[in-house]
A and B are shown apart, each in its own frame.
Chain A
């Protein structure tokens, strides 16, 4: 667009407009990233004033051979897998039902969406109250429906239940996210396709698996991408709910990283940890995006 107009040239305006954003992002994202990479090769501790030594790849070596790291990776994998599993299942089912266009479906959709917009830390903290043995609402509801004594179990304190306590709350919060995206997918399918299938006498069941599911799949995969990245980063909700406990059972990678960086003050070590997490999330996300694009092309 090389049109000559009065005032600044287009190119000048373009840079003038993009400039501030890029500068800010460089200052708050890229510069820190480079700093982190640099620190990851040192034994720097942010709470000590001593000479910083470059120790090569030793931090990386220590992290990858530390059982704590692998425990937190495992906890993260469990959390990721099950939250996505339940959210996809329930989210898709809800979207499917809402798409039946019953009266008032807009209102109920908005109500269902509410938990996802709220502060995870504040809500997560309140869930510890709901999860309390005996007096907690959650435990009481379980007792009411199953007869299990509500003072006999603690979702957060029990080693078998704690990993599920965080899955439940995350599913409660984020199922609507998957639901909304699936709903957009369902609504993008033109009626004419179903009409054609009806003419071909395809059964409803067949229509569902050969039309509905493939058409919604790209949307569903996008939802999984977002949830995957978000839950890989998960910190606020879980730190408030379980604080990583009992023991280190729900210590997700972000919580582990926070301890290394801001409690043990092993800044160099934690920087290397951060770099490993970046590489993991970018690596997994780009492989996934490739798969997603393949599905879209079909």
Chain B
């Protein structure tokens, strides 16, 4: 800090601004902290009045999330062998026995497979298209780019009607492959636009030099451009992954027993008399934490990603 500047806010202004922003951040963080906390509450603590901030941690929510159980009477309880594992014990303590795994693990795995699969394809196709749009004279380039962007404006439900009929014809309904192709298409608009921005920023001279050295255009693409665009590709990939991970409308309409992902599944976790909130919160926590970590990793490119490259810091 050197000298006096008219544009530098005063210390007092900074203090007030900081205080207000931190207050907002605390309030906005509350629902997320509440999700995480509820996951570790017993069902009684979760629905107590007043809401409990301090409570005895319980793993019942997590056990309920991953298992399916059946209720047993106290008499039966006494006639059983002692519980062999800690999770068996947690279930016994709440008057139930575990009869098998729940479907959460499989739904989570679907989310992983569909998320990574569609991200991979969207990045491969997107990088190629973005490179071509960035470096070559493509006929009707602007129209094509706008067309690619406009596919994102359609309400998913509207697109889902013919997709549903088409998938039914092709046998793609409720399959991982169908969802991967669908999410790839939806993510292409984002990946093409973002990656074009990143590739535009790589000076053309590098490739020029490579071409003069006798590289083919293709070699110049993957030996010169790709390494330069690596950060851009990585952050674009994370954005695509987050979109596919969070997507709900297509998932709830086009998948059910087989390829269902976690977002449509988590709200259907029910216990006795309604939603089993600790289990729902546990499922949500496991599902949301990776995205929170990715967000922190992405923070430098966040703005660019959410505006399709329209605003670059």
Contact = CB atoms under 8 A, between A and B. Distances in A.
Nearest to B277: A129
B217 A10 contact: yes
B216 A25 contact: no
A129 B38 contact: yes
Contact of B248 (A20, A21, A119, A135): A119
B292 A117 contact: yes
A117 B295 contact: yes
Interface string B280-295: 1100100110011011
A125 B266 contact: yes
Interface residues of B, number: 102
Given A28-B185, A113-B299, A97 B38 contact: no
B28 interface: yes
Interface string A12-50: 011111101110110111011101100100000010000
B86 interface: no
Given A232-B155, A278-B154, A140 B162 contact: no
B265 to A, nearest CB: 10
B51 A137 contact: yes
Interface stretch (A64-72, A80-88, A190-198): A190-198
A113 B249 contact: no
B17 to A, nearest CB: 4
A177 B306 contact: yes
Contacts of B263: 119, 121-122, 236
Contacts of A176: 28
A110 B137 CA distance: 39
A98 B17 contact: yes
B181 A18 contact: no
B211 A100 contact: no
A248 interface: no
B264 to A, nearest CB: 7
Contacts of A273: 158
Interface string B1-32: 00001110100011101101110110011111
A175 B144 CA distance: 32
Interface in B123-152: 125-126, 128-129, 131-133, 135-138, 144, 147-148, 150-151
A39 B161 contact: yes
Contacts of A63: none
Contact of B307 (A32, A181, A271): A181
Given A6-B214, A137-B30, A122 B288 contact: yes
Interface stretch (B42-50, B62-70, B96-104): B42-50
Contact of A112 (B24, B135, B287, B313): B24
Contacts of A187: 313
Interface string B190-207: 001000000000000000
Interface stretch (B72-80, B87-95, B163-171, B228-236): B163-171
Nearest to A97: B17
B163 A32 contact: yes
Interface string A249-261: 0000110011001
A165 interface: no
B109 interface: no
A136 B46 CA distance: 9
B28 A118 contact: no
Interface in A166-218: 172, 175-177, 180-181, 183-184, 187, 191, 194-195, 198
B132 A28 contact: no
Contact of A257 (B151, B155, B165, B216): B155
A297 B200 CA distance: 23
Interface in A103-118: 103-106, 108-118
A35 B156 contact: no
Contact of B129 (A18, A229, A240, A257): A18
Interface string A273-287: 110011001100100
B188 A21 contact: yes
Contacts of A32: 159, 161-163, 166
A77 to B, nearest CB: 15
A96 to B, nearest CB: 8
Contacts of B150: 282
Contacts of A103: 14, 18
B131 to A, nearest CB: 6
A240 to B, nearest CB: 6
28 contacts: A6-B214, A8-B217, A13-B136, A24-B185, A25-B188, A32-B161, A32-B162, A33-B162, A97-B20, A100-B9, A102-B14, A105-B21, A108-B21, A110-B295, A112-B25, A117-B292, A122-B246, A122-B263, A125-B266, A126-B281, A181-B311, A194-B7, A222-B311, A233-B153, A235-B248, A236-B249, A254-B157, A261-B157
Given A126-B280, A137-B51, 16 more contacts: A18-B144, A20-B129, A21-B128, A28-B181, A28-B185, A35-B162, A106-B299, A108-B22, A122-B267, A125-B266, A140-B51, A191-B5, A194-B6, A195-B7, A222-B310, A236-B249
Interface of B: 5-7, 9, 13-15, 17-18, 20-22, 24-25, 28-32, 34-35, 38, 47-51, 125-126, 128-129, 131-133, 135-138, 144, 147-148, 150-151, 153-166, 181-182, 184-186, 188, 192, 211, 214, 216-219, 242, 245-246, 248-249, 252-253, 262-264, 266-267, 275, 277, 280-281, 284, 287-288, 291-292, 294-296, 299, 302-303, 306-307, 310-311, 313
6 closest cross-chain pairs (CB), A and B: A7-B216, A274-B158, A32-B162, A102-B18, A28-B185, A121-B248
